[in-house]
Chains A and B, each alone.
Chain A
Amino acid sequence: MTGGSGVDREQRCVVVGASMGGLRAAEAVRKAGFTGEITVIGDEPHMPYNRPPLSKDALLGSTGAADLAFRVPRAAQDVRWRLGERVIAADLAARTVTLDNGDTLDWAGLVVATGLSPRRVPIPGPLAGRHVIRTLDDIAALRRELTPGGRLVVIGAGFIGCEVAAVARGFGLEVDIVAPEPVPIERPLGAELGSALRQRHEAHGVRFHLGRLPVRFEGPDRVTSVVLDDGTELAADAVIEAVGCVPNTGWLQGNGLDLSDGVLCDNLLRVQGRPDVVACGDIARFPNLLFDEVPRRVEHWTMVTDTAKKAGNTLGRHLIGADPDPVPFAPIPSFWSDQYDLRLQSFGAVGLGAEDVRVLEGDLDDEVAVGYHRGGHLVGVVLIGMAARYQHYRALIADCAALAAAEA
């Protein structure tokens, strides 16, 4: 089938990826004035849902798809959803996408919103009992294998690994964390704050195996233990692999795009200058003019909505023949992490200031504000607790980043 449902290509916008970015981009295309068909294609069977709770309180609770689903806003009520279908190829010259069932859809505008997939740990051993945390189906599979008192090995000591460990301890599981770095969440938080977080986890009974690599999984037909490079063998009823993610760009190959780290975009989220192709969310590598002109991917929840609205607006205006909004795109990144009763909140670009980390106020063992600096300027802040200081530090980041960008 070509064309699909008889709609003229000039009247169709295709959004590939049906998560938060796809939803928000579709809404923004419509709000920009595009009146044609908008089709959103996603490989999960679910309507768009909120992912951060998956590694937090939803992980081992009873939270389901309905609890996490986003409301579909008024402007996106007439969007066509093709869920459980995967786009396997795009031809940007012919302006088509091809689905795994063989369907081809023409488009006048394309939104790239396919996000990331978890990286897997490439070591030998049985596959059963190994999990990642990215989708509703992932956590459903994990829940089936864990009961209180069970033994969980987490590979990876980043945010997801640490959040998962905290939830698992609360659920009554034995938890071991294995990671090659010497300090949890060393990147981007830095050694001092990472060490402070390690102590908090250890106080809750988490066992760390840092500076260690897993070398194989043992077990007859499913994982029963994880062997480390120093010979340590950790018993496991389940393993969670939390070792980062890779952008889902395979379907875009063959179009001459720079896919070296996500999809390269300009400041308006246009993919390599094409007004009819935009990208948003974790997969978009774009310059944030709040800091400088270097394109970067940002895996922060708030950035998905920010980029999707911008990308959708850019594309929607193109589709109705209007110029793009000339206001430079300079969103303030922020993220949060919940571990035990701790709320960790960040504003700005912590990673850009990892060489110059200073405690701004408070105490690393208690509530604290940590500043990350580049060229002497504050570019990022991480708060532990300090809820009453959110507004102060977010405003400060906006001011300081503007100063730093002016000097860059």
Chain B
Amino acid sequence: MRITVDLNKCQDHGQCVFSAPSVFALDDQGKLSFRAETTGSKYTSADLDESLRDDVEEAADACPLQAIMVEG
């Protein structure tokens, strides 16, 4: 299972951080931390443990801009 985040859609609301705190974080500017490590507009995670599925699905549902996809 992986997640992707469309960084053009994302507006750094941070709802994902509350749903899946072990996957998502905001940096000290309040920006999604994946921005700093991503070139281009789409972040793709490494393989995530299946135990995180409920959390990341909740994050995808809770994203106001619907920018998170759970794949696999």
Contacts and interface: CB of A to CB of B under 8 A. Distances in A.
Given A334-B15, A345-B13, A388 B62 contact: no
A8 to B, nearest CB: 31
Contacts of B15: 302, 334
A72 to B, nearest CB: 12
Contact of A336 (B30, B64, B66, B69): B64
Contacts of A309: 61
A52 interface: yes
A387 B18 contact: no
A387 B28 CA distance: 9
A122 interface: no
Contacts, number: 42
B17 interface: yes
A58 to B, nearest CB: 11
B29 A388 contact: yes
B31 interface: yes
Chain A residues touching B, majority SS: helix
A70 B63 CA distance: 11
B66 A390 contact: no
Contacts of A231: none
A301 B26 contact: no
Nearest to A306: B62
Contacts of B18: 332, 391, 394
Contacts of B31: 387
Interface residues of A, number: 22
Contact of B57 (A50, A73, A302, A394): A73
A50 B66 contact: yes
A390 B62 contact: no
Nearest to A24: B61
A390 B30 contact: yes
A301 B64 contact: yes
Contacts of B66: 50, 70-71
Interface string A337-369: 000000101000000000000000000000000
B43 to A, nearest CB: 17
A60 B66 CA distance: 20
15 contacts: A50-B66, A52-B64, A71-B66, A302-B62, A336-B64, A343-B11, A387-B12, A387-B14, A387-B26, A387-B29, A388-B28, A390-B30, A391-B17, A391-B18, A394-B18
10 closest Cβ pairs, A-B complex? A387-B30, A388-B30, A390-B14, A305-B61, A388-B28, A388-B29, A50-B66, A387-B12, A391-B17, A305-B62
Given A387-B29, A387-B31, 19 more contacts: A50-B64, A50-B66, A52-B64, A71-B69, A302-B62, A332-B18, A334-B15, A336-B64, A343-B11, A345-B13, A387-B12, A387-B14, A388-B26, A388-B30, A389-B30, A390-B14, A390-B30, A391-B17, A394-B18
Interface of B: 11-15, 17-18, 26, 28-31, 57, 61-62, 64, 66, 69
